[in-house]
Each structure stands twice: as C-alpha cells, then as structure tokens.
Amino acid sequence: MNLTAGEKDHEIQRFNQQQNNSKMILVTGSTGLLGRIIALELVKRGKKVRACKRAGSDLSEVKHSFKFYTSDANHYFDSIEWVDMDYEDHSSLYDSMTDITEIYHCAAKVSFDPDDREEILETGVNMTRTLLHAALYMKIKKFLFVSSASTFHVPGENLNPEMRDHPENINFPAHVISKCICEKMVLSAYTKGLNAIIINPGMIIGSGNWKGKKNMVTNFFAVSRFTFTGGTSVVDVRDVAAVAVDLMDKNLFGERFCIVSENILFKNLTQRIREKTGLSKPWVLPESFLRIISILRPILGILNAKTRFLTDENIEFVSEKKYFSGEKIKQLLDHQFYPANEAIQFHYGNYLTFKNQIRSR
C-alpha cells in the first residue's frame, strides 16, 4: 500500500509514540543475519531496541541490508540504539543492560572449521553463561535464546559444560554442542525465575551479512559448484524474526520451539539457488567419496586447505537427511511460513543486487 506524505508522517508519529511508551529490549548479535532482522522487526512493531555489537562492526552494511526489508530503512535503523558490548567486561555488560526488560540472545560463533572448535565452545558457552547470570541479577523479565534445530538430534543427557568432549558427542559440530550446552543453562535459569524461551530455527535463508560466516547458505551454496546427498530444514529469516517476537509477546516461557518452513535435499536447495544466480547445476558428492577424501586429508591439506573441513562430523552433517517440523508453530501462532522457493527468489534476488552494486563501484 502506498501512503501519502501526510499519512506517512502520521504513521511515523504513531511509531514514535509507541516507542516512548514501551520498555527497552536488548538484542545481542545484532549485526548477524538473524539478530539484525529481529531488531528491525521489534522497532517496526513500535518497540524500543538497544542493539549490541562488537567494536568495529560495520553498521553501514547493516543499514544497507535493511533496505531489502523495508522502504523506511533509514528511519528504523536510526530508531535503534547501537552499543558496543564486551562480555568479558562486566561494566560494559551491565551498562548495556541498564533499563532493559527483555533480551533476545542471538550472538554466537558459527563455523564448521575444525580449527575453530575450541573457540566456538568457549565463546558460546561463556558468553551465554555470563549473560544469564546478569539477566537473573538484573531481574530481566523475558529472555529468548536462539539455538538450532540441529540440537534435537543430540543426546542432551550427556551434554553439560563439564562433559562437552564426551565420546558420544564428539561427532557433532562444535556449534551444535555449544547450543545444546547453552540450552541446558537457559532451562536452568528458567527454574531460577528467568522467564525464558528457546527457539530452534532450521537453516536460515536471509539477506545481508553476505561476507560474514554466519550467512553460510550464501557463502557456500551460491559459490561452490558442489553439493551433497543429505538434506536439511530451511526457514526464511523473516519468519524466524516474526515468530520470535510473537512468542515473547505471548509469554510462552519454558519451552523449545522448532521454526522450520520445509525440508529439502541439499542438491535441490543448491540447484534452486544456482538457477536463481545464473550458475550451472551442482555436482553431487556422495558420502563414500567424502569419506575416501577425508582419509587423505593430511596429504591433500598441503594442496588445498579447505580439505580440513572433511571431518567425520561435517561429512555426517551434509550426507544425512536431518529433518524437522514447524507444525507446532503453525498451529500455536497460526503462522504461515514463506515457502523455500519464495525465500530463495527474494533473498538471492537481493544477493544479485548486492553483487551488481559492488561491481558498479
């Protein structure tokens, strides 16, 4: 719907009034693929948002990405209070949480690089533990933790901060183990009085953060000519953000919510993405081939550093069909998800626009 200048001014005035009357919400990981859209979704609903970022983060890239989602990108971006937060600096942490009533914890390090394993475990677990302690101390009213649908396949009874290298769990990617451990800490905080919600999105398809590791769908499937025999569950970032805010608004605490649009084979997902971006059909690498190559990894690593990614846990991740269901959300919230094809058309259209703008500079 196109608004007249007067109607648009009225909408902005109404938005500002709603913000003045609302409490402050903290979003961590706000420059990431999901965190930025949760922050945007919140301010679009008239809520006051304080968005945490690392010192030196490129906010111009975040601001530009908002243009893919709204015609009032500058207005909404300027409505957000952007702050630097260091989890290891308690004064920085508690200053960021001043006047905060709700927290959306999106910050995490995501990587399939085995060299990042210890950093992923240390960063994710310590960051979440510190934030939960502060939330309980500051008497935060609501807390939402962004986990992953992949945690549903992990034997959670063996996972805690002291047993993260349990033999039964070593074959899971580090970021999945980290999420499982953090889920346990969030549920423990819930028993201590923190009104907490855990969301478990599938593989997120979104726009923005094109150069960052967190947009793994773009960074691999739109660039590599290879794909795999396994399958996964996907979801549009717009769905994840909307569902997260709806769950918090409805006060549905003490539960985990799987957020998934549909299940899809990697080869079909890759082919659709490459068709949209004008690339040839992908080559499917069977698990048996990956296993053989992984045996030769020490030798091949001299020629190609990327072979270090061929760990047992990564091969299993891309070779098996690990599917999930979003029916609980559909029924609970009467939410209609974007189909995968529509998500690919929208976000990879934005990706092509981004690439063309880079070329024209």
Pairwise pLDDT comparison (298 vs 112), residue with the higher score: 112
Of the candidates 101, 95, 61, 54, the one whose C-alpha atom is nearest the C-alpha of residue 77 is: 61
The stretch 37-60 carries a mean pLDDT of: 94
Asked if 253 contacts 151 with a C-beta cutoff of 8 angstroms, the reply is no
What pLDDT is attached to residue 1?
41
Structure confidence at residue 287 (pLDDT): 93
Residue 279 or 189, more confident:
189
Range 266-287 average pLDDT: 90
Rounded Cα distance between 161 and 182, Å, is 9
So what's the pLDDT on residue 34?
A: 95
Give the pLDDT of residue 306: 67
Task: Look at residue 140 and tell me if it is in a domain.
Answer: yes
Residue 276 lies in a domain: no
Structure confidence at residue 137 (pLDDT): 95
Within a domain: residue 31? Answer: yes
Mean pLDDT of 80-84: 96
Dihedral-angle region of residue 94 (phi above 0 means left; psi in -120 to 50 means alpha; beta otherwise): alpha
The answer to whether residue 84 sits within a structural domain is yes
CA distance 348 to 353: 8
Quick one: what percent of the chain has pLDDT higher than 90?
Answer: 57
- Residue 41: pLDDT band by 50, 70, 90 thresholds? very high
Mean pLDDT of 202-211: 86
Specify the pLDDT at position 300: 61
Whether 89 has a pLDDT exceeding 90, the answer reads no
Per-residue model confidence (pLDDT) at position 311: 83
Band (69; pLDDT cuts 50, 70, 90): very high
- pLDDT value for 355: 81
* Interval 118-134: pLDDT, tens: 888 888 899 999 999 99
Q: Is 90 exceeded by the pLDDT of residue 246?
A: yes
Q: Which pLDDT does position 221 carry in this prediction?
A: 73
Q: Poorest-confidence range of 23-37, 155-169, 217-231?
A: 155-169
Residue 138 has pLDDT above 90, yes or no: yes
Strands 142-146 and 196-201: parallel
* 36 or 1, higher pLDDT: 36
CA-to-CA dists, residue 101 to 53, 111, 154, 179, 255, angstroms = 19, 31, 32, 24, 20
27 bridge partner residues: 51, 104
Q: Comparing 316 with 131, which gets the higher pLDDT? A: 131
- The residues near 29 (Cβ < 8 Å, ≥ 6 apart) are 35, 52, 105, 106, 107, 108, 146
Higher pLDDT, 181 or 166: 181
Q: 158 versus 320: which is more confidently predicted?
A: 320
When pLDDT is averaged across residues 95-113 and rounded to a whole number, the result is: 91
pLDDT at 15: 46
How much is the average pLDDT of 95-116?
A: 90
Q: Mean pLDDT across the stretch 156-171?
A: 55
Q: What pLDDT score does 166 carry?
A: 53
What's the domain range around 39?
11-216+234-264+324-346
> The CATH number of the domain where 146 resides is what?
3.40.50.720
243 versus 165: which is more confidently predicted? 243
Tell me, yes or no, whether 129 lies in a domain.
yes
**pLDDT given at position 6:** 54
Instruction: Report residue 357 as tokens.
Output: 């703008």
- Which two structure tokens, joined as six digits, stand for 286? 């069977």
CA distances from 280 to 49, 222, 223 (A): 43, 11, 11
Would you state the structure tokens that stand for residue 131, as one six-digit string?
Answer: 């934030």
- Residue 33 inside a domain? The answer is yes
Is the pLDDT reported for residue 20 higher than 70?
no
In this structure, how many other beta carbons lie within 10 angstroms of the beta carbon of residue 161? 13
Q: Is residue 273 part of a domain?
A: no
For residue 114, being part of any structural domain is answered with: yes
Q: How many domains does the chain have?
A: 1
